[in-house]
Amino acid sequence: MINLPSSSDVLIIGGGATGAGIARDLAMRGASVVLIEKGDFCAGASGSNHGMLHSGARYASSDKESARECAEENDILKRTASAYIEDTGGFFVALPEDEGSFTDSFQSNCRAAGIYTRELAPEEVLREEPLLNPDITRAFEVKDAAVDPFMLVNATIASARAAGAVITNYSKAVSMNLGDEGIESVRIERAGRTCEIKPQLVINAAGAWAGSIAAMAGQNLEVGVDKGTMAVVDGRAANHLINRLRKPADADILVPHRSATIVGTTSSPGDLNRIRPTAEEVENLLREASKTIIGLHSMRTVRAYSGVRPLAGAGGRNASRNFNVTKHENSNMISVVGGKLTTYRLIAQKVADEAAGFLGISSACRTDREELPVLEKFRSKQEVCSCEMVSRDSLIEWSKSDDVTCAADLMRRTRAGMGYCQSGLCAFDIVSCMEGDPVQMLQDFLSERWKGEEAVLYDQQLRQEVFKSHLFKVYNIDHSGGN
Ligand SMILES: Cc1cc2nc3c(=O)[nH]c(=O)nc-3n(C[C@H](O)[C@H](O)[C@H](O)COP(=O)(O)OP(=O)(O)OC[C@H]3O[C@@H](n4cnc5c(N)ncnc54)[C@H](O)[C@@H]3O)c2cc1C
């Protein structure tokens, strides 16, 4: 177990995205930082959300400031945290019943907030997303993406630690000793023991629990708590992030995440003692989302989960998604509440600016430029060929050899592409590990493989080859090399 120091410049309470972001920012500016989290990292809202990297379009009509912030942070995170983002792109689609002023003013509202949109013909979108309801009347392309919240927060923590922060989970702030100048020490419970730390400044990043942390310091803080439930459906119902183009309501968002689709969300008053999805919520979500994606209801729903949105002010679907940073009067505590996962870096920057002012630190924020590290485990688990269990690292290593001139050379040294799918699913990835013209390399590789496939085109394997030819046709590549 990590040892905690007895004092620090800053003690951050809460190991969600916000707390982790603040720890990274302040440690990079040279502050001595300790962060404690009562559960595992991401135990709160940061581990129970949609995993949507907002383009801002969703808030353009109701909350221009949040919308603009989302758009700016979307660009920054795609540059600095690309390992944890799948840049799916997004579509807002309207059904006949959604027609009205919200739909009509959508694009002008986005434009006013500086958010990219492009109107597409419904047929164009249906070609890309064949499971969408064919009755859609309007469609807009936006820059939404899918983000892995767990990996994002863990990479942020790794970066903060590399900059010197001491960060520990399963460590709960339970009480505070108060004096004339504010908080003198914070008592922490971990592994059945208690210890104390004396920080110059306490940062309350406890999300939906921030009100009770403020109360420990004798301060008042209004925190809205809003529950949202999501369902996880097996398989990708769409490859783009799909938003229903209407005033925000239940089941408006479908996020493709790796091999699943996350459908959500609901919105109801939250109870911190009961953050569990109900069967009724899931049934309603799937019924409503099936209007957007036909047949969703018949796909396998593998699980559901709920989270509580910490909102700056009163809760509810229409509450602002903006955030509040409060430097409490007569106290050495800053509280931060609200915002989005998408804006976690910006929120951290604002809090760190306030903290740096208090501590007399003059160095500036660098998190908008410095990339997050690619976690070692994440890297090594990235498998290119799952039939033969070949990792991207090993392919890249071999591709540097003077002996390797084409993808087939790479295959013979690693077995990538030799397995059950016969490179049907991994050919793109194999080629992406090499330098050169990818389309030509792919064509050459598939023609080479075809030589051994022609003779076995019957029964199951024929079906597999037809499937493969469909996969490659999308890229205008003939997987039989013209044979
Ligand atoms: C249903 C839902 C869907 C959402 N979808 C999206 C989305 O798609 N995209 C997006 O950008 N945003 C989304 N959000 C919002 C986003 O998840 C939150 O804004 C963000 O995660 C808040 O992070 P946080 O660190 O402030 O809070 P949290 O992640 O809740 O972190 C607070 C942490 O403090 C810890 N803590 C509490 N008390 C103590 C204590 N006494 N001692 C130590 N630790 C303590 C908690 O365990 C918790 O881990 C969604 C939220 C919800 C609920």
Q: For the residues of 406-445, what is the DSSP string, one character each?
A: SHHHHHHHH-TT-STTTTTTTHHHHHHTS-S-HHHHHHHH
- What one-character DSSP code corresponds to residue 371? P
Question: Ligand 1 centroid vs 209 CA: distance in angstroms?
Answer: 10
Instruction: Tell me which of 271, 341, 346 to substitute to probe ligand 1's pocket, judged by most ligand atoms within 8 Å of the beta carbon.
Output: 341
Q: How far is CA 273 from the centre of its chain?
A: 25
Question: Which residue ranges in the chain fall short of pLDDT 70?
Answer: 314-321, 376-381, 454, 474-476, 479-483
Distance from Cα 167 to the centre of ligand 1, integer Å? 17
Distance 14 CA to ligand 1 centre (A): 9
Which atom of ligand 1 is nearest the CA belonging to 342? Answer: 11
Q: From ligand 1's centre to the CA of 37, what distance in Å?
A: 12
Which two tokens mark 233?
Answer: 């459906």
**Residue 319's pLDDT is what?**
61
Spatial neighbors of 292 by CB under 8 A, at least 6 apart, are 93, 95, 132, 133, 242, 244, 251, 254
Measured in angstroms, how far is the CA atom of residue 16 from the centroid of ligand 1?
6
Site to substitute for ligand 1 among 340, 343, 346, 347, most atoms within 8 A of C-beta:
340
Q: Which residue has the tokens 């790796």?
A: 258
Q: Whose CA is nearest to atom 41 of ligand 1?
A: 173
- In angstroms, rounded to a whole number, what is the distance separating the alpha carbons of residues 329 and 289? 47
Strands (E), 265-408: 268-269, 301-312, 323-327, 333-338, 383-385, 390-391
Ligand 1 pocket mutation pick from 11, 37, 334 by most atoms within 8 angstroms of CB:
37
**pLDDT tens per residue, range 10-38:** 999 999 999 999 999 999 999 999 999 99
Give residue 379's pLDDT. Answer: 60
Ligand 1 pocket, mutate which of 12, 24, 38, 78 (most atoms under 8 A from CB): 38
Which pLDDT score, from 0 to 100, does residue 202 have?
98
Question: How far is 225 from 211, CA to CA, in rounded Å?
Answer: 10
pTM listed for this prediction: 0.83
Please list every protein residue whose CB sits less than 6 Å from any atom of ligand 1.
13-19, 36-39, 43-46, 48-52, 54, 172-173, 205-209, 213, 228, 265, 307-310, 339-342
* C-alpha span between 222 and 4 (Å, rounded): 30
In ligand 1, the atom with minimum distance to the C-alpha of 306 is 1
Ligand 1 centroid to 289 CA: how many Å?
25
Q: So what's the pLDDT on residue 191?
A: 87
Nearest atom in ligand 1 to the alpha carbon of residue 308 is 53
Q: What spacing in Å lies between the alpha carbon of 67 and ligand 1's midpoint? A: 19
Nearest residue (CA) to ligand 1, atom 50: 49
C-alpha distances in Å from residue 327, one per residue of 178, 330, 333, 357: 16, 9, 6, 11
- Cα 206 to middle of ligand 1, angstroms: 8
Q: Whose CA is nearest to atom 35 of ligand 1?
A: 14
Both tokens of residue 92? 């807002």
* Nearest residue to 169 (alpha-carbon basis) of 44, 345, 332, 311: 44
Domains and CATH numbers, the chain: 7-45+150-222+321-359 (3.50.50.60), 86-146+224-312 (3.30.9.10), 382-473 (no CATH)
197 in Cβ contact with 185 (< 8 Å) = yes
